[in-house]
Chains A and B, each alone.
Chain A
Amino acid sequence: MGECEICNIVHKKSKLKIYEDDTVTAILNPKPSVPGHVLVFTKKHYSIIEQVPDYEVEKLFNVANKISKSMFDSLGITGTNIILNNGIPAGQKYPHVVVNIIPRTDNDALKLEWIPKKADESELSTVELLMKENSASLGIKEKEKAAPIEIESKPESIETSKNSRPEDNMLIKQLRRIP
């Protein structure tokens, strides 16, 4: 763990830091693509985003989104990119999950774009199928704590029915209908 450059930043005082809470840290990138380039990362060491629990992912990107908003408010820019490169082929630079927030202006030297390709209907259908086969657990979130036990609403409804007039109660109305 002592080998991780990002973990080392987490644990020391640094003039690069701009934000910190119990889950995430944000710093000005000492090697910025453009001035104002910010890195946000989890304090805990995770090498890839798939390892980060959902509640930390939520926190991480909420902070990233707010830093992006701060850039609009203070840096006189016209855009921001929030980029997470995940895995070496994607250009991940550190063995620690890091989100880039990059301020953009109309004529900056950055590319960060792709050439859209054409995809025909049959290829898209194949891809759709392939992804759906692997998406069984998608949308089922891991919780920080176990979900609170839901208190059954039955006792409450009995309570309210006591206070209301019997003829207001749907159940009693139904009962009266029975011959």
Chain B
Amino acid sequence: MPEEVDVSNMTPEQIAEMQKQQCIFCHIASGKVPSKKIYEDDKCIAILDINPAARGHVLLFPKEHYPVMALAPDEIVGHIFAIAKGISNVMLKAFKNEGVQGTTIFLGNGVSAGQKAPHTIVHIIPRKEGDNLDLAVPENKTNKESLLDIRKKIIQSIKNTLGSCYELEEEPKITEKSNADNNIDITKVKDMLVQKDKEGQDADKAKDTGKNKEDLKQDKESISLDDIKDLFNKGCKDGRM
């Protein structure tokens, strides 16, 4: 039975240390708790799950205590999944004669995602046809509005955590306002936009008047949309949207 501990007077470091001391996977990593080790190096360890989803189910985890994978440094994350690939490969060879023809590499962050222990763990599960494991990712219908709505919510965080994001070409219109107080040459951009707008009108006119379409096409090509995008990206990279 774990003793009740008053955490109110403890520093975050002390709490983290206490969690480590109570973490079964930290004890497995240090060898205090015995396990069936499949692989071990200085950063991670892979053991057999004693309550497997299927025969050969492996738990792979960093030796250092990270409650969720998002807290682990890049180097550890990359290493763990490269080893996961290797273990998947081992499974396909080892259980070939038993009908294993696939693997699932599964990570749950948080209780709602099926995480059972406060130590980040990657599950590698051998898969057979008709094994009835509920691990297929279902597909549902959605619409453009819903997708764009999610995009709007997540895109700034993507940019913050990954350093960049995939910019949509429509975005300059949204960012134009905030770029006004940036140091980039906004008049140049505006001129370009105005000119493009004019071209659009010209194109409409051309339809009516039957103006030479090839000429128009050439005009359009002389202004690259990428030029405009670059100018805005410059603004974004300064940390301003």
Contacts and interface: CB of A to CB of B under 8 A. Distances in A.
A85 B166 contact: no
Interface in B93-126: 93-95, 100-115, 125
Interface in B64-111: 69-70, 72, 74, 77-83, 85-95, 100-111
B233 to A, nearest CB: 13
A169 interface: no
Contact of A127 (B56, B111, B166): B56
B174 interface: no
A29 B103 CA distance: 22
B141 to A, nearest CB: 7
Contacts of B209: none
Interface string A1-43: 0000000000001011111110001101111111111000000
A119 B50 contact: yes
Contact of A91 (B89, B136, B158): B136
A130 B147 contact: no
A57 B52 CA distance: 25
A166 interface: no
Contacts of A60: 81
A69 B120 CA distance: 14
B88 to A, nearest CB: 6
Nearest to B110: A79
Interface in B116-163: 125, 127-131, 133-142, 144, 146-148, 150-151, 153-158, 160-162
Nearest to A65: B77
A59 interface: yes
B90 to A, nearest CB: 5
A32 B105 CA distance: 19
A168 to B, nearest CB: 32
B93 A134 contact: yes
Contact of A70 (B78, B113, B146, B162): B162
B154 A36 contact: yes
B158 A33 contact: no
Contacts of A29: 139
Interface string A86-107: 1111111100000010101110
Task: Classify the interface of chain B: helix, strand, loop or mixed.
Answer: mixed
Task: Classify the interface of chain A: helix, strand, loop or mixed.
Answer: mixed
A112 B109 CA distance: 13
A165 B54 CA distance: 65
Contacts of B138: 33, 110
A12 B39 CA distance: 41
B86 A139 contact: yes
B38 A13 contact: no
B89 A50 contact: yes
Contact of B38 (A35, A59, A132): A132
A27 B73 CA distance: 24
B83 A73 contact: no
B57 to A, nearest CB: 8
A117 interface: yes
Contacts of B156: 74
Contacts of A18: 151, 154-155, 158, 165-166
Interface of A: 13, 15-21, 25-26, 28-37, 49-50, 52, 54, 57-63, 65-75, 77-93, 100, 102, 104-106, 108, 110-119, 123-125, 127-128, 130-135, 137-139, 141
6 contacts: A26-B166, A80-B110, A82-B109, A84-B104, A131-B90, A138-B39
Can you list the 3 inter-chain pairs with the closest CB atoms, starting with the nearest? Answer: A87-B102, A79-B110, A58-B78
Given A83-B106, A112-B134, A117-B54, 18 more contacts: A28-B151, A50-B92, A57-B81, A61-B77, A68-B70, A72-B109, A73-B157, A81-B108, A81-B114, A85-B104, A86-B102, A86-B104, A93-B139, A117-B52, A119-B50, A119-B55, A135-B90, A138-B39
